[in-house]
């Protein structure tokens, strides 16, 4: 069933049942897969979730893939968290947003909406180290039948700290010491089997990491033509683009 036919069938179901669009679409997709006896066809929407500790290169890799993967979009769950943090009163802003159920629910539903309406690959760069939260988002998307490819980027702590310092122009790693304080714990969590596939990035460039991810996901991306200077400019532009003013 084509993307347009699934949308039409979902809207028909909405008219009959009064269900929200995403609920109707999931039901139509599940019914179609059950009748056909197969998973979503190759070439349909895929979610690439790029996991890893702060500073390992998730966002840089996401934008590298986005540049080289036609039709792809980036959906950064951090934007939901920063929006919630802005909305909360100062007395509540110390809460790590992933511990707020509304964050997990919002990310799940926004990704469902994007995957339902966008026909190309969707790239989500986001640290997710809590097993329960991982199952609540990644597990439920897999239960929906989404073509989901998860990778956890890993590196030695010294490598991550060096990258944090580089993106903050040589100052102490960025402005949030918690990124370093939780680094060892997060790396230990992410090495667990449930967070596979693991991609070690210590001796790989951003372009090489993107190549590894695309091959493992069965996607064809454009070859990288960046020299060292252009690659640095891309990384710096990504850093500037993702600065958040809290």
Report pLDDT for 1. 53
Tokens 């990288």 correspond to 224
pLDDT category at 233 given cuts 50, 70, 90 is low
Count the neighbouring beta carbons within 10 Å of the beta carbon of residue 12.
12
What is the CA angle 131-132-135, rounded to 5? Answer: 85
How many Cβ atoms sit within 10 Å of the Cβ of residue 167? 21
Q: What is the DSSP letter of 23?
A: H
Q: How far apart are CA 211 and CA 221, in angstroms?
A: 8
Q: Looking at residue 218, what is its pLDDT?
A: 93
pLDDT for 223 beyond 80 = yes
Integer CA distances (angstroms), 86 to 44, 96, 121, 176, 184, in order: 35, 13, 29, 17, 28
Q: Could you tell me the two tokens for 91? A: 């007395």
The per-residue pLDDT for range 37-73, each reduced to its tens digit, is: 444 444 358 999 999 999 899 999 999 999 999 999 9
pLDDT at 11: 79
- Contact between residue 65 and residue 48 where contact means Cβ atoms under 8 Å apart: yes
Q: Is the pLDDT at 22 greater than 90, yes or no?
A: no
pLDDT tens digit string along 145-170? 899 999 999 999 999 998 888 776 55
Half-sphere exposure (CA, 13 Å, Cβ side) for 203? 0
| 198-200 vs 73-74, strand pairing mode | unpaired
Burial of 64 (0-12, 13-18, 19+ CB in 10 A): buried
Distance separating alpha carbons of residues 29 and 40, to the nearest angstrom:
9
Per the rule left: phi > 0, alpha: psi between -120 and 50, beta: everything else, 109 is: alpha
So what's the pLDDT on residue 229? 66
Which tokens in the block code for residue 104? 């997990």
Q: What's the predicted TM-score (pTM) here? A: 0.78
DSSP, collapsed to helix, strand or coil, labels residue 156 as coil
- What is the average pLDDT across 102-126? 94
| 79: nearest Cα among 65, 62, 91 | 62
Question: What is the average pLDDT across 231-243?
Answer: 59
Cβ-Cβ contacts under 8 Å for 102 (sequence gap 6 or more) = 84
CA gap 118, 44 in Å, rounded:
10
pLDDT of residue 230 exceeding 70: no
């Amino acid at each position: 069933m084509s993307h347009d036919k699934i949308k039409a069938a979902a809207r028909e179901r909405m008219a009959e049942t009064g269900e929200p669009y995403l609920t109707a679409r999931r039901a139509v997709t599940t019914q179609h897969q059950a009748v056909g006896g197969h998973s979503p066809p190759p070439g349909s929407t895929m979610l690439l979730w790029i996991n890893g500790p702060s500073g390992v290169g998730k966002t840089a890799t996401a934008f590298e893939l986005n540049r080289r993967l036609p039709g792809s979009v980036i959906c950064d769950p951090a934007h939901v968290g920063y929006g919630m943090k802005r909305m909360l009163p100062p007395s509540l802003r110390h809460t790590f947003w992933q511990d707020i159920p509304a964050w997990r629910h919002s990310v799940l539903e926004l990704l469902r909406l994007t995957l339902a309406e966008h026909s190309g690959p969707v790239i989500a760069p986001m640290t997710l180290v809590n097993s329960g939260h991982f199952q609540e988002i990644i597990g439920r998307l897999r239960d929906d039948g989404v073509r989901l490819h998860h990778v956890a980027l890993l590196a030695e702590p010294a490598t991550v700290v060096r990258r944090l310092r580089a993106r903050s122009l040589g100052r102490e790693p960025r402005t949030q010491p918690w990124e370093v304080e939780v680094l060892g714990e997060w790396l230990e969590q992410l090495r667990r089997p449930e967070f596979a596939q693991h991609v070690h990035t210590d001796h790989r460039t951003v372009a090489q990491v993107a190549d590894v991810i695309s091959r493992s996901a069965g996607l064809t991306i454009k070859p990288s033509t960046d020299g060292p200077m252009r690659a640095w400019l891309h990384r710096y532009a990504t850093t500037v683009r993702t600065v958040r003013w809290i």
